[in-house]
Chains A and B, each alone.
Chain A
Amino acid sequence: MFDAIDKQLLKEVADLEAIPKGAYNIRKNGKLLGREVSANINIENNPEGNGIIIRVAPNTVNESVHIPVILSQAGLHDTVYNTFIIGEDSDVTIVAGCGIHCGGSKSEGHEGIHEFRLERGARMRYVEKHVALGEGTGKRILNPTTRVFMKQDSYAEMELTQLGGVDHARRVNEAEVGPGASLMITERVLTEKDQQAKSENELILSGEGSRANMVSRSVIKGDSRQDFYVNLIARAKCFGHIECDAIIMDNGVNETIPALKAQHPDAELTHEASIGKIASDQLMKLMSLGLDYDEAVNRIIQGFLK
């Protein structure tokens, strides 16, 4: 069964208008809806039967994997453990994400625990979007976890997005970055009404010459709350940077706690953090170009979360 709501959810989370090219695994309400493997990318159930293993063969380049999850069954709480093994010198894009449609009063939730093992020289772009739609009053809960293990000279770019609709989120990202490897994480979260989101991050720079850069952008509307924690831990000569900005609108609240921990004398760690309302000079500039107050606010938020 695949209906209009599913279509809309897939469009929102994975930008899909049709069956994707290349390998994919689409999960709906805890069950497999469709799967396709390619010559270089294999997808199989894990032995525990609670998730999938995606194996990208070494030297696979310019391929993508789509693994969206959609949920539209009241009362369902779905948990999956997915493992990604990204072979040596490969270069792939993984599009994940979860869309919840809630039509009733019962809560719905999804916990996706994604573990990535990047082999030597592997490059991965991981795009994860979380959305929740529907008129129902039930709580929509999304708790994603990523764990990234990066071998020598591997590269990972992760874009993690949650733009509205999710009532409760506990987002966890953990990474261990090996020698010469680089990790770039961008997390964008928008909350409104009385939604709550918490993001907990632990990034360990364990290899010589490793790099990590985490950018967090939060927009906190209505009476919502967002908290952001990151521990950036250096165990070798490395470079790490955290940039976290939160824009508070209405009555939102935010706690941002970036922590830098150098356990090696040659570590270079920096952070920038800010919490505040939309800057009035930005608003004035856009209004002086003819935008009304609300339009100006929208453009600033749009850019900020882009």
Chain B
Amino acid sequence: MIEIKDLRFIAPESDAEDRRRAIVDGIDFRFEAGKFYGITGPNGSGKTTLAKLIMGIVEPTSGTILMEGRDIGNLSVAERARAGISYSFQNAARFKGITFRDLLSIAAGTEDEDKLAAIIARVGICSMDFLDKPVDAKLSGGEIKKIELATTIARNPKVAIYDEPDTGIDLWTIGPMVDLLKREQREYGVTTLVVSHNRAFLEAADAIVLIRDGGIAYSGGFEGALPILTDLSVCGYGDICEGESDVRCYR
């Protein structure tokens, strides 16, 4: 569905403008149609950058991105959205004077109340009375993530990219959220890319893609990823980590 070839993003170091660093360092990968991918890796390893490169939010230094065999490298963000890619931001934008209803209507291409209600029912994790909430600085971290998720699903995408959809989400909602993304994958054949540190998402995935230092350190089944995931060089918490089963921590 999405194929990336020798994709590179090189940027100046944030502390020294004259030094440059490959943040995404020549990645080759094929995301197969209808599959669910769990993308993980340490903080700062390049996961968000990779996701943004696919959506067109960040322009690559070099490399190719194909969608269904077509080069989408020259498409703008809006054009990629219309081609069927939808995207949940790790840090969701906050507006002034724009409500959840506005975003959902834009995403779904309709203002019809019944249709919006149907989307909210399908998403399940946010209620109807969310609809007229302003998407502004007052929304809680969890609320805004639910809105991100709903607007992503409302696009009826072929490819859905979720960048850490679970940050700020309460314990009671994580399970339903995983189920929702699996259901979307099953029922609509959505190719699903979830960036997450959360075991629940990684276990639900058909394949894990482990990013380290801007490259793919591993890709394949969850079990096969375990040894690398538990490696202390990946887990930034070292000694204070209470172990994989208790804290659901796979950093």
Contacts and interface: CB of A to CB of B under 8 A. Distances in A.
A38 interface: no
Chain B residues touching A, range:
20 to 34
Contact of A281 (B76, B81, B93, B155): B93
Contact of B78 (A217, A290, A305): A290
Closest 3 CB pairs of A and B: A303-B97, A303-B98, A281-B93
Contacts of A217: 96
Interface string B81-119: 110001101011111111000110011010000000000
A200 to B, nearest CB: 23
Contact of B96 (A284, A289, A292, A303): A303
Nearest to B57: A284
Given A281-B91, A299-B106, A287 B78 contact: yes
A284 B48 CA distance: 14
9 contacts: A217-B96, A282-B95, A288-B86, A289-B107, A290-B106, A290-B155, A292-B78, A293-B78, A304-B96
Given A287-B78, A288-B77, A303-B98, A282 B93 contact: yes
A206 to B, nearest CB: 30
Interface in A159-201: none
A293 B77 CA distance: 9
Interface of A: 217, 245, 279, 281-282, 284-293, 296, 299-300, 302-306
B93 A299 contact: no
A14 to B, nearest CB: 22
Contact of B97 (A281, A286, A292, A306): A306
Q: With a 10 A CB-CB cut-off, give which of B86, B93, B94, B155 has the most chain A CB atoms.
A: B93
B55 interface: yes
A289 B98 contact: no
B182 to A, nearest CB: 23
Contacts of B93: 279, 281-282, 284-285
Nearest to A245: B96
Contacts of A303: 95-98, 102
Given A281-B89, A281-B91, A285-B92, A290 B97 contact: no
Given A281-B93, A303-B97, A304-B97, A288 B106 contact: no
Given A281-B89, A281-B91, A281-B93, A288 B57 contact: yes
Contacts of B78: 287-288, 290-293, 296
Q: With a 10 A CB-CB cut-off, give which of B76, B96, B106 has the most chain A CB atoms.
A: B96
Contacts of A281: 89, 91, 93
A299 B91 CA distance: 20
Given A300-B95, A306-B97, 18 more contacts: A281-B93, A284-B89, A285-B92, A288-B78, A288-B86, A288-B87, A288-B89, A289-B103, A290-B82, A290-B107, A292-B76, A293-B76, A293-B78, A296-B78, A299-B98, A299-B102, A303-B96, A304-B97
B151 A289 contact: yes
A291 B106 contact: yes
Nearest to A272: B137
B52 to A, nearest CB: 9
A286 B86 contact: no
Contacts of B81: 287-290
B217 to A, nearest CB: 28
A285 B107 CA distance: 10
Given A300-B95, A306-B97, A287 B89 contact: no
A303 B93 CA distance: 14
Contacts of A305: 97
A261 B146 CA distance: 41
A64 to B, nearest CB: 25
A285 B103 CA distance: 9
Contact of B106 (A245, A279, A284, A286): A286
A282 to B, nearest CB: 5
Q: With a 10 A CB-CB cut-off, give which of A279, A290, A292 has the most chain B CB atoms.
A: A290
A222 B109 CA distance: 31
Contacts of B106: 286, 289-291, 299
Contacts of B107: 289-290
Q: With a 10 A CB-CB cut-off, give which of B94, B102, B106, B151 has the most chain A CB atoms.
A: B106
